[in-house]
Structure 1
């Protein structure tokens, strides 16, 4: 128990300095709520963490990363940034076998390697609101997407990765439910409709009172089409130069 608490402290202590939050979970909790095709292929008592980026990540991790990496070819700046810091974490835990699954990774059958919102929910990080959480379903055949809401940051965060420690078994780990911060039926309907039909206007993110939001610079970055983000950051010319090296 003490060794696991120490490991959790190391992971959280390292990543929190860069604007990340981590929450532990057992593989069993995740697999229990999903069909077998989405199961994580580890023993049920295996320790895992879900990694979230909070608003401060942009200033604490992303911008410093860009300033350090300017002469390298960056495929997707945010993805590369997350990979950079999680790889640093791995290097800081040389005696622990750590496997990292990123939110964008796919299985050979094109299904996600892990369902990020489900992981956040079972780890107690953020409540995953879905259609089934509304009693008076009025949408008929309409496709309604679920969304996680954080008790402090609302929708102003992102789920980035799962950290798996295959050699660490935690049969004693107690599950903590996520905070249900959108309890009223009409608010849940508002949230799901706002996320499904109007996600680009940011309003679903403020369904609860929040501690911190994305800065205007950060909002501008994420609102810009991916193909134009490098130009927004002033990196387009430098990346063309770097292709010669």
Structure 2
């Protein structure tokens, strides 16, 4: 496909047609929107007018992509099975929809040699308009004194029942001023709601309650909850009991169910 035929609509349309049936959502952004809110050491190494797309997983991804992936292909090596599945889905979509295109694909679990994440997932989701990234600075007259509170994204339809999985930069697709930055929906507008959200996420994230800060249209199935409630080192054993891994494997030490490398929480 020639570069000149690609624009925001064609990229998101093609990519969305491949990924939506797998429970993955795509949201376009300009690299400049992302770089403008971060320090230079965290910038993406692409021009500001380059088109990027952030990929989110909805609750449907587990049943529509992950379990079929395990059934058909299984996982290999030491890396997290969810990460392997997402990489397979995204790589397949890019090769199918954009043959010959230069696409810089970055996953939420990847780190640079400096140990910084390859992209800040929650920042990318916020500037694309996909989800509002609530941070400590968004709470006036904070009740936490000097305590550090990690931020968390809230999706207008899914609440906290989603994850940010990848960022794709289409290096040869440039966009101009016709692409207007959307504001992410402010789903938790009150100070009290934001305090409740950040405290639930930071202090009680294991009970899932922060995910229901807005009424979600879809949540994780019980099987998916069982999977993500299982410590990462024990997930291969759980998959074995489900019949996906017939032989002993080494246990990975990664946890894929974080919204990004920015928070370090499960």
TM-score, scaled relative to structure 1: 0.94
Matched, 1:30 2:39: no
Which residue of the partner structure matches residue 3 of structure 1? 6
Greater alpha carbon shift after TM alignment, 166-175 vs 34-43: 166-175
Tell me the distance in 1 between the aligned counterparts of 2:248 and 2:156: 39
Deviations 1:52-85 (A, max 9, x none): 0000000100000001113744621000000000
Structure 1, gaps ≥5 residues long: none
- Structure 1 residues 7 and 211: alpha-carbon distance in aligned structure 2, compared to 1, 3 A threshold: same
Partner Cα separation in structure 1 for residue 202 and residue 237 of structure 2: 29
How far did 1:201 drift?
0.7
The correspondence of residues 114-133 of structure 1 with structure 2, limited to 5 A, is: 114-133=119-138
Q: Is the contact between residue 236 and residue 249 of structure 2 (CA under 8 Å) also seen in structure 1?
A: no
How many Å separate the matches in 1 of 2:248 and 2:131? 37
> How far, CA to CA, are the matches of 1:174 and 1:240 in structure 2?
48
Question: Is the 1:20–1:52 Cα contact (8 Å) retained in structure 2?
Answer: yes
Query: Which residue does 2:255 correspond to in 1?
Result: none
CA distance in 1, matches of 2:30, 2:107: 17
Structure 1 residue 236 displacement after superposition: 4.7
Corresponding residue for residue 197 of structure 2: 191
Q: Which residue of 2 aligns with 1:238?
A: 247
Distance 1:90 1:129 in 2: 31
Instruction: Give the corresponding residue for 1:136.
Output: 141
Offset of 1:230 from its aligned partner?
A: 1.1
Q: Following the alignment from structure 2 to structure 1, what is the Cα–Cα distance between the partners of residues 195 and 135?
A: 10
The offset of 1:187, in angstroms, is: 0.5
The 3 A distance-change label for structure 1 pair 69 and 173 is same
Q: Does the CA contact (< 8 Å) of 1:191 and 1:207 recur in 2?
A: yes
Relative to 1, partners in 2 of residues 1:238 and 1:129: Cα closer, same or farther, differing over 3 Å?
same
Q: What corresponds to 2:50 in structure 1?
A: 46
Equivalence for 2:86: 82
**1:239 & 1:123 partners in 2: Cα distance?**
42
Aligned residue pairs total 241
Q: In the alignment, which residue of structure 2 is the partner of 1:227?
A: 233
Deviating runs (4+, > 6 A) in structure 1? none
User: For the residues of structure 2 that align with 1:35 and 1:180, how far apart are their CA atoms?
Assistant: 24
Q: Distance in 2 between matches of 1:74 and 1:66?
A: 15
More off after superposition, 185-194 vs 66-75:
66-75
Q: CA RMSD in A?
A: 1.6
1:137–1:80 CA distance, 2 compared to 1 (3 A): same
Corresponding residue for 1:59?
A: 63
Contact 2:15-2:94 at 8 Å conserved across structures? no
How far has the Cα of 1:2 moved from its partner? 7.1
